[in-house]
Amino acid sequence: MSLSTAGLEDLTVDLERFDNELQKFSQLLGLNLVGCEADHIALRCHQNATAERWQQGLLQIGTEFSRAMINGRPICLYRLHQPLTVAGLTIKVVELPWPGEKLYRHEGWEHIEIVLRGDPATLGVRAMALIADQALVTPGITFKTSSPQGENERLPNPTLAVSDGRTTIKFHPWSLEEIVASEQE
């Protein structure tokens, strides 16, 4: 089943935009996505009604395997029956956060996350080593570290986000499925 047949036509159209922007952004960063372990792709929306509509569509093409309160809002994770292909990456998980206080420029696909396995304490250094030196000083590119955490998470999962303000690539040491499994233990 495709995004369109699940009533997600807006996301089908936006996926092409996101794919193009992601490819351009990764080239600007000098980041070769081939061979990277893609964890998930994430959406952003401004209204609960949009999140609920997307949720209903995602339930037609995947299985919800987590619903957690993170940073004060629900975030749902869906394992797709058929993975998406974005910028040459095969992505099996979609993250759908409900709207928070921050308004995003665009409603639709917003970021991908890459798993960089290894010591969580060295995540930032390892992620930055994948990015071309000239990209590190390119105006308009931002780098942000965070440590989002669900209520019962046992694995430290710091994140480094690299963004041009429209497209974001995030790096973290564990997959979301591993994080969710750690909550069950």
Cα distance between residue 94 and residue 5, in whole Å: 17
What does pLDDT average to in each consecutive run of 10 residues of the chain (185 residues)?
A: 76 95 96 92 92 95 92 91 95 94 80 95 93 92 80 73 94 91 76
Q: What is the pLDDT of residue 155?
A: 73
Q: What is the pLDDT of residue 106?
A: 79
Q: What is the pLDDT of residue 151?
A: 54
The predicted-structure confidence for 118-171, as pLDDT tens digits, reads as follows: 999 999 999 999 999 999 889 999 999 987 655 555 677 889 999 998 899 999
Cα distance between residue 152 and residue 139, in whole Å: 38
Pairing of strands 108-115, 168-172: parallel
Q: Is the pTM of this model over 0.75?
A: yes
Cα distance between residue 93 and residue 103, in whole Å: 23
Q: What is the pLDDT of residue 162?
A: 96
Cα distance between residue 21 and residue 50, in whole Å: 23
Cα distance between residue 116 and residue 118, in whole Å: 6
Pairing of strands 89-97, 159-163: unpaired
Q: Are the beta carbons of 3 and 56 closer than 8 angstroms?
A: no
Q: What is the pLDDT of residue 104?
A: 66
Q: What is the number of other CB atoms lying within 10 angstroms of the CB of residue 111?
A: 19
Q: What is the pLDDT of residue 7?
A: 79
